[in-house]
Structure 1
Amino acid sequence: MQWLPKWRWYDLPNYVLNQLTVGDHAICHEDLSYAESARQRLDLYVPHQPRADRAVILFVHGGSWQHGNKQDYRFLAQSLAQSGFFVACMNYRLAPEHIYPDFVEDTILATNWLLDHSQSAEYSYNADKLILMGHSAGAFNISAALYHPDLHVKIEREDVIHALIGIAGPYSFEHRGDPIAQFALPQDIAPEQLMPNYFVQPNQIKHLLIVAGNDTLVEDSNTEKMAQSLKNIGNHVKVKRIARTRHVNVIATLAEKFSRFFPTKQLILDFIED
């Protein structure tokens, strides 16, 4: 199988999904810089037929904070663009070279870039209808970007964030000594000083927390604790489980070719419209 670049072996499922993507629903503006580092880039997909509200989704990939690439999620961006969304898929600085909070602050910087560039003649999306979406480590990133008071940068306008959609997110767990998180999250502080569920604040943002039905990597308790923290302060939150999925492949259910067999995409669309 010489046709498959070696650096893609760890992410073969996404590579295959991209090869199976048949729809061309958006123009992709690649490698837009939201900061100075080579990893601080995003791809912005402009739908051929935008929704009336011209809403924009920022998608943050997973990968244990150590790997992953925005270009591996073309299948997701094109599928969401099919429904009229502008979609920004971002890269962020990776562990172990960069540990928390670098990748969270990158999420904030990318969010602020989207807020600042909505009036571009090439893009012209609605920054007042911003949706944050993340899978796995990316779900942690968007939650921590929104709910942690001790970061060096802040989201410029939280009032325009319409929804937060976390998919199989590790929002609350003992990271000290964890075989994956130990390379990305500081080992000298307790979860109470780090995990986003401890820092939630009241707001009008809608939260959708999606759980993979057979997730053996991220325990359900992560979502349960995050949801309870949001409920305790009166924030809007829904939790939905996607049957017949695991931690990695739950994101594949958003692909155009497979979305008809799983409720994930329609669930997200209905949630945004609700």
Structure 2
Amino acid sequence: MQAPLKSLVWAVCLCTLLGFVGEAATTSAAEPVVPPGITLERGIVFGKGGEQELKLDIAYPKSTDGQLPALVFIHGGGWVGGDREAFLPLIVQFSQAGIVCLTVDYRLAPQHRFPAQLEDVKCAVRWLRANAEKYHVDPQRIAAFGASAGAHLAALLGTTNGDARWEGSGGNADQSSSVCAVVGLSGAYDLTLGYENSVKQSFFEGRSVRGMLESFLGGKPADKGDAYRSASPVEHVQATTPPMILVHGTADTLVPIEQSEVMEQKLKAAGVDVEFFRLEGGTHSSFGKDAQQSMLKISESIRARLQPAAAK
């Protein structure tokens, strides 16, 4: 990546200021201003989830001397809401740093339950790899970036690399859905634990967590234990899991930081490269104390994970 690091810092800052991490961010973002040198394509059909067409938006530099890294952005919304447009300003900003960026839709619960959402985001990665030449993407440098429920799906993308059980039939079956790295903001990684601990949360947040999980997985852990385990990234961690960047606020009361702590422990035990940014005072939709410094460090970490192998 040759663009200045400040572009990445501003991109992460946008994510925070516009509240895209929060589960309540279910409304579409305003149309972003596309700067000179960047192309934004909207509403591309990348595959099908059952009978539903799946769409993405993609932003990329108009000219490049070689292959570029790519980031697949996955929105939050508790698996029951949200859409790809929430990340539109962010993909435009990141594309200025020399990254091909796409933000994707996926089927939502309760109409569509797990693993529909994972199948759909895997389909998006396969589509990008199939179109790598067109967009000047390095197929070896495709990473996933998710916030909240999107962080959960991004982590599942990484931990199920190479596992054919979760591919679905959305299109481009000849391509790999593997990613080289994962960035997760305020994610849930052990869904059984999340449900069990929801009784310790406030009345409204605990009820919200239970409602989202039951919609996503079709019931309570007592009845759907296998689904809760299958949908938990911590259950799929192995030595071949790609590097992960975990970001979580210490004051997040909707998805407590314990979720990232448990994920970090699993990754370290498997020998996986993991960097955990613990944001003091950060909530589910803010970066807490020393936000600017935290964003700088996170941006640098993302930049490092997307460097060509020879440059690392």
The bucket for the TM-score relative to the shorter chain is 0.7 to 0.9
- CA offset digits 1:226-267 (Å, max 9, x no partner): 1111111111111112345321345xx9xxxx9788434344
1:1-274 superposed matches below 5 A: 11=25, 15=29, 18=30, 23=35, 26-36=38-48, 37-38=51-52, 40-48=54-62, 53-120=67-134, 123-148=135-160, 149=163, 150-153=165-168, 156-157=175-176, 161-174=179-192, 178-187=210-219, 188-190=223-225, 191-203=228-240, 205-249=242-286, 262-263=295-296, 264-273=298-307
Change over 3 Å in CA distance of 1:193–1:106 after alignment to 2: closer
Aligned residues: 254
> Contact 1:39–1:91 at 8 Å: present in 2 too?
no
SS class of match (1:161): coil
Percent same amino acid at aligned positions?
Answer: 22
Report the CA distance between 1:32 and its aligned residue.
1.4
SS class of match (1:130): strand
Code of the aligned partner of 2:147: H
1:6 matched residue in structure 2: none
- The two structures, once aligned, show a CA RMSD in angstroms of 3.1
> Contact 2:141–2:306 at 8 Å: present in 1 too?
no
Gaps of 5+ in 1: 1-9
Gaps of 5+ in 2: 1-23, 196-208
Code of the aligned partner of 1:147: T
TM normalised by structure 2 equals 0.71
Q: 1-side partners of 2:82 and 2:292: how far apart?
A: 22
Change over 3 Å in CA distance of 1:214–1:51 after alignment to 2: farther
Q: 2-side partners of 1:22 and 1:262: how far apart?
A: 23
Change over 3 Å in CA distance of 1:20–1:45 after alignment to 2: closer
